[in-house]
Amino acid sequence: MQTKELLIGLVLQIYDAKINTFILTFIKKYYLCSKSTVMSVLYPLKFEPQYFEKIWGGQYVKTLLHKDFGKLLNCGEMWILSGVEGHNSVVTNGNFAGDELNDLVEVFMGDLVGDNVFDKYGEQFPLLVKIIDPITWLSVQVHPDDELAKKIGLENGKTEMWYVMHAEHHAELVSGFNRDINKDEFRHLIENKEIEKVLNYEHVHEGDVFFIPARRIHALGPGCMVAEIQQTSDTTYRVYDWDRIDQYGMYRELHVEQALYTLNYKKEDNYKTDYDKKIIDTTVPLVKCPYFYTNFIHLDASMKKDYSELDSFVILMAVSERFVLKYENGEEVVNMGECILIPNVINNVEICVEKDAKILEVYIV
Ligand SMILES: [Zn+2]
């Protein structure tokens, strides 16, 4: 082993409990001169999930994903990868255990997220990956796009996608309108509590995929657990909250004027993403948008991946059974409902499964 690597190892050991940004920057600046050394330091990262109780939250995170959400009464959302201010994901594996994602982005920049991604998004990790489990309807809502978000001083809009991990019989969701309408008509429907007339309802089954661009009206229904991939943003305009009250007897705030201004009122022909769910051992594209590309991989054997053409990190998320990710210096198990972040500097990995496993592969182009 080279002296440089020995020194890095020593520093990493000393600060194993909590390597702060200063130390990381120091390592980066003074020791990591060559790409090969960065490759030996960076590795696929796993993160501590963050649990959120919601007025509409269910128990699947405990019963299906076997995660302990402690004293919370339910877990409506489990954030598994986040660069959201105040909810920055913390690494659980290897030398960087205890470190926050955005601090690692600050230090390793393009080597972690890709050069173009770093130029565009800077130190904030650009995607948020979560699992949503509703026992009753989420509010009918809409998110701004980048242009609208910037006008009101926010960084990003919010385009998102859902992959249905589990659906009860008759589970439903809302995506878009079932006919063209306009702002005045929709305002009238909101005032008369009649918006359900114009919402497009979809029956959902496991494996269904819905792409929800910013400005599209949407709501998740009961018994429909999804993996959500979205731009890093937490801006939601609630149009309608089913007239329910919270534990304190209060209605949650609505944002009708912002929503009316934000909504796209045009009906689309198809709201569900068409793809062949039965294709095995092949990478199947699901979504290609400026904010993320998502592929579906259904494996019953191992698959080697070469990411050298990509200038991006890659997220692999287990949406059914677990898989094992093997890379040059080690391997990590990724259970259902977990994900792993492969740094841009790592090009060759192998995904291994014990039995059938379904995986989402996410990156930025
Ligand atoms: Zn949403």
The answer to whether residue 270 sits within a structural domain is no
Distance from residue 262's CA to the centre of ligand 1 (Å)? 13
**Are 54 and 34 in the same domain?**
no
The answer to whether residue 273 sits within a structural domain is no
- Looking at residue 274, what DSSP letter applies? P
Could you say which of 179, 216, 238, 252 is catalytic?
238
Identify the domain boundary among 231, 262, 293. 262
**Are 292 and 348 in the same domain?**
yes
Token pair 């934000």 is at which residue?
262
CA distance linking residue 148 with residue 351, whole number of Å: 40
CA distance linking residue 99 with residue 153, whole number of Å: 29
**Are 22 and 73 in the same domain?**
no
Tens place of pLDDT per residue across the chain (365 aa): 455 555 555 555 545 544 566 666 666 655 555 666 776 799 999 999 999 999 999 999 999 999 999 999 999 999 999 999 999 999 999 999 999 999 999 999 999 999 999 999 999 999 999 999 999 999 999 999 999 999 988 888 999 999 999 999 999 999 999 999 999 999 999 999 999 999 999 999 999 999 999 999 999 999 999 999 999 988 899 999 888 888 788 888 899 999 999 999 999 999 999 999 999 999 999 999 999 999 999 999 999 999 999 999 999 999 999 999 999 989 999 999 999 999 999 999 999 999 899 999 999 99
Q: Is residue 238 annotated as a catalytic residue, yes or no?
A: yes
Identify the domain boundary among 262, 292, 326. 262
CA distance linking residue 113 with residue 119, whole number of Å: 10
- Looking at residue 197, what DSSP letter applies? G
Cα angle, residue 152 at apex, residues 253 and 238 outer, rounded to 5°: 25
Distance from residue 236's CA to the centre of ligand 1 (Å)? 7
Encoded tokens for 194:
């009649």
| Domain that residue 31 falls in | 3-41
**Are 175 and 243 in the same domain?**
yes
**Are 150 and 112 in the same domain?**
yes
Distance from residue 26's CA to the centre of ligand 1 (Å)? 39
**Are 145 and 108 in the same domain?**
yes
**Are 142 and 57 in the same domain?**
yes
The answer to whether residue 224 sits within a structural domain is yes
Q: Mind giving me the DSSP string for 14-81?
A: HTSS---HHHHHHHHHHT--SHHHHHHH---B-B--EEE--TTBBSHHHHTT----TT-S-BSEEEEE
The answer to whether residue 143 sits within a structural domain is yes
Query: Would you state the pLDDT for residue 17?
Result: 44
- Looking at residue 235, what DSSP letter applies? -
**C-alpha atoms less than 13 angstroms from C-alpha of 119 in its C-beta half-sphere:** 7
Can you list the positions of beta strands (E) in 82-171? 127-132, 140-142, 160-167
CATH of the domain at 169: 2.60.120.10
Short-list 143, 139, 128, 197, CA closest to 173: 139
Instruction: Report the length, in residues, of the chain.
Output: 365
The answer to whether residue 276 sits within a structural domain is no
Going by C-beta distance under 8 Å and a sequence separation of 6 or more, which residues neighbour residue 328?
39, 346, 348
Q: Tell me the CA distances in angstroms from 245 to 11, 57, 193, 321, one per residue in order.
A: 53, 14, 16, 37
Count the domains in the chain.
3
Distance from residue 337's CA to the centre of ligand 1 (Å)? 19
Short-list 361, 299, 365, 343, CA closest to 161: 361
**Are 110 and 34 in the same domain?**
no
**Are 209 and 355 in the same domain?**
no
How many Å is the Cα radius of gyration of the chain?
Answer: 21
Distance from residue 139's CA to the centre of ligand 1 (Å)? 9
The answer to whether residue 271 sits within a structural domain is no
Distance from residue 21's CA to the centre of ligand 1 (Å)? 33
**Are 114 and 251 in the same domain?**
yes
Distance from residue 188's CA to the centre of ligand 1 (Å)? 23
The answer to whether residue 268 sits within a structural domain is no
**Are 297 and 172 in the same domain?**
no
Query: Would you state the pLDDT for residue 15?
Result: 52
The answer to whether residue 221 sits within a structural domain is yes
Identify the domain boundary among 233, 262, 291. 262
Q: pTM of the predicted model, to two decimals?
A: 0.90
**Are 293 and 242 in the same domain?**
no
